[in-house]
Chain A
Amino acid sequence: MDLFLQLTLAGLAIGSIYSCVALAVVMIYQATDHFNFAQGEMAMFSTYVAWTLVGLGAPVWLAFLLAVGISFLAGVIIERVIVKPVENAPVLNQIIVFIGLLVIFNAVAGWIWEFTIKPFPSLFPEDLGFKSTLIGPHHLGVIALTLGVLALVFAFFRFTRVGLAMRAAAANPDSARLVGVSVGWMLALGWGLAASIGAVGGILVAPIVYLEPNMMAGVLLYGFAGALLGGVSSPGGAVLGGLVVGVLENWVGQYVPGGSELKLTFALILIVGVLVFKPAGLFGRVVVRRV
């Protein structure tokens, strides 16, 4: 029973990181109708930025906040400089741009920081003042921090004027322009926000998977699986999907014979399964429309 609880809690921790990635992916998807395949590599890059700041002597929390802020700016710039020029291009061109970004970030990270694996410090102290055999301090901190971040993001979209304008711009750009929303800047803001959320995920997962340019490959795949499972049209669903995928991943690794070798395969099976049997995902909202 203890093992089951341990697996589940650790799964929730890693799953909440998948949720961050899934939410970032869904945000871009809602605005552009495409998956940003570079989301994971952008997060990896952000994590290296944090690592560099720590190396320069910054406290780890300060490095975290700075890296998240820098990622926001970088996301905005990437949208303005690279994504905007192709926004009216055919689908394939846009996807190639996303894949190009993926390759570029990966290669540049390897060039600057080398491909050797580096340890990354946890944001959370080893000693939380209590001891539990069920969950470690980093995992517990991950769950608390990601849930906090996700709650903030949802509050932003739900309760602020700019959040509402961003939703409007993504859903109905023409109409949004007609009420005076600058749709282009809302998209850029969305990219910035997605990059920040991705950075949170990257910095939290780095102490677990260690820092290296390919560290997000698996995480992005699970993030995609989570986003699809929850429904790409539902940010809340994507977050839940990420959590479910994290827990399932751990269960499969433990209880399915040979499962520890099949974890990534499981993510792919999940992706294909959802796309074949329930393309809208579990919580994908069906929009009621009357004419």
Chain B
Amino acid sequence: MAFLEVRGLEAYYRQTQALFGVDFELDEGSITAVLGANGAGKTTTLRAICRMVRTEGEVTFDGQELTGMSTERVVGLGIAHVPEGRGTFVRQSVEENLQLGAYTRKNKADIAADMESVYGYFPRLGERRRQQAGTLSGGEQQMLAIGRALMLRPKLMLLDEPSFGLAPLIVQEIYEIMARIREREGTSMLLVEQNASIALELADHAYLLETGRVVMGGESSLLRDDEDIRRSYLGY
């Protein structure tokens, strides 16, 4: 059985159905990208895994069925969600944001060590550790969101458009750091992106969503190298 397995996933916002039977899986230690246009259901897929929308179907993580759990319990299993819009606690300091990321953990020494390792990945956060997080730039807040997720020592990270609204150079920097994180921590990642080209560089596998359905999936190199797919679905 795969590390994360999604079968027949449907999701609803009140009466509106957003996902129509999504199937995919993710292997431990791998990075899987979910691509697609606006409104295809990428964000909803992540929110469904974290139990933040009403769903039907099955989501199994590390052998455990997630449907029926609360969001807090899913987080407790080691799934860290870097949400759309970064989810910064704007009034709290950078350090407090990171502490919140470790909320479910107890060992203070480990937490302190992990905080230093986050500052290692993102030195700019270290320089601003006492600063109110709302005053950070967009790129810094994205780094903070990833750092907050790392503080969970996650087994799986869900990343919702880490490139959103950022300058290309910053996007490049953040993706390089994500590659380093995968290399060092071996964290599995489920990555949602509109920026298909950069996501396909990082990811091992990719799925393509269209209006709430998976229309294509496979190794990212295959999607990357297929001219037709690139032109008609990925737009580059």
Contacts and interface: CB of A to CB of B under 8 A. Distances in A.
A52 interface: no
A287 B91 contact: yes
Interface in B185-215: none
Given A180-B75, A181-B100, A168 B92 contact: yes
Interface residues of B, number: 32
B134 A288 contact: yes
A112 B80 CA distance: 51
A268 interface: no
Interface string A175-192: 111111110000000000
B134 A168 contact: no
A179 B148 contact: yes
Given A181-B100, A290-B137, A172 B89 contact: yes
Given A177-B52, A290-B137, A164 B99 contact: yes
B107 to A, nearest CB: 12
B135 interface: yes
B90 interface: yes
A161 to B, nearest CB: 7
Contacts of A287: 90-91, 134
Interface residues of A, number: 22
A291 B83 CA distance: 15
B92 A290 contact: no
A176 B100 CA distance: 8
A167 interface: yes
Contact of A289 (B90, B92, B96, B148): B90
Contacts of B103: 161, 165, 179-181
Residue among B71, B80, B135 with max Cβ neighbours from chain A (10 Å): B71
B101 A179 contact: yes
B17 to A, nearest CB: 21
Nearest to A175: B87
B52 A180 contact: no
B106 to A, nearest CB: 9
Contact of B92 (A161, A167, A178, A285): A167
A180 B76 contact: yes
A256 interface: no
B83 A178 contact: yes
A171 interface: yes
Interface string A275-289: 000000000010111
Contact of A288 (B50, B71, B132, B148): B132
A164 B80 CA distance: 19
Contacts of A174: 52, 83, 87
A164 B100 contact: yes
B100 A291 contact: no
A175 B92 contact: no
A180 B72 contact: yes
B43 interface: no
A180 B135 CA distance: 24
A175 B88 contact: yes
Contacts of B96: 164
Most chain B beta-carbon contacts within 10 A, residue among A165, A180, A288: A180
B87 A180 contact: no
B71 A177 contact: yes
Nearest to B151: A179
B168 interface: no
B140 to A, nearest CB: 9
A291 B140 CA distance: 11
Contacts of A164: 92, 96, 99-100
Given A181-B72, A182-B72, A290-B134, A171 B89 contact: yes
Interface of A: 161, 164-165, 167-168, 171-172, 174-182, 285, 287-291
Given A179-B148, A291-B165, 15 more contacts: A167-B92, A171-B92, A172-B88, A172-B90, A174-B52, A174-B83, A175-B88, A176-B89, A176-B100, A178-B71, A178-B83, A179-B104, A180-B72, A285-B91, A288-B132
Counting from the closest, the 8 A-B pairs by CB-CB distance are: A175-B87, A180-B75, A180-B104, A177-B71, A178-B81, A179-B103, A179-B100, A289-B134
21 contacts: A161-B99, A164-B92, A165-B103, A171-B92, A172-B88, A172-B90, A175-B89, A177-B71, A178-B71, A178-B75, A179-B75, A179-B100, A179-B104, A181-B72, A181-B100, A285-B91, A287-B90, A288-B134, A289-B134, A290-B134, A291-B165
